[in-house]
Structure 1
């Protein structure tokens, strides 16, 4: 299954891959069908990016409470609090390990945050790619 982002098909990657007992998401931004969502709002972009990544996991049969690791990349240190607040609202009861780093830039200058999720899915009979 492909995601909504145009990059998946163009650059040859999957939004989610299940490998053994893990489900991994690709880096996910707040990219919608017509471009970057919520320009200038790191909090809203983080909420959207987490939602897109969680929807992709759900589409692969992995519920949110299986997320064990999150990674957040921000382009400006001043966005750390807003992105962390969004993370807390989404994952506060799950409490995965988390990393937040500041990067020089993302692919589109309007993108303020990118996230990755890793979930534990338990034993499966064989690794399989999802979307």
Structure 2
């Protein structure tokens, strides 16, 4: 039987809305759209670069619990309310994905909270024995 397991991330939004930070489905790991909130304090920085860094820390925690690293990411989606906020994030994003080179999409759209300036979603494939 294929393993299917939810990985909580500690966000109050997960409980309120009814989703998991990530889902392991066999060798695939789907990480929900993740924002720059520090889920231990439920605070968020004002700057988009700082938010991107926190997004990646949150994603890394979910990937680690799923048995993955950024090297296993095959798809990344960036969602931003303002297109001009994307380029300042490139150096931060490149640190995680520059060598991995996953498929990527950037979309301009509204986010759930006006303080959110970036949301990142990833899909990864676990190496299984």
TM-score interval, normalised by the smaller of the two chains? 0.7 to 0.9
Q: Name the counterpart of 1:128.
A: none
Provide the aligned C-alpha RMSD in A.
1.7
TM-score, normalising length from structure 1?
0.84
Tell me, yes or no, if structure 1 residue 31 matches structure 2 residue 5: no
Displacement after TM superposition at 1:122 (Å): 4.3
Count how many residue pairs are aligned between Structure 1 and Structure 2.
122
Query: CA separation in 2, counterparts of 1:38 and 1:50?
Result: 14
User: Which residue of the other structure, out of 94, 113, 116, is the alignment partner of 2:118?
Assistant: 113
Tell me, yes or no, if structure 1 residue 88 matches structure 2 residue 94: yes
* Structure 1 residue ranges (4+ consecutive) displaced by more than 3 angstroms after TM superposition: 33-36
Displacement after TM superposition at 1:64 (Å): 1.9
Contact 1:58 1:64 in 2 (8 A): no
Give the number of the structure with larger relative contact order, counting CA–CA contacts within 8 Å between residues 6 or more apart: 1
TM-score, normalising length from structure 2?
0.85
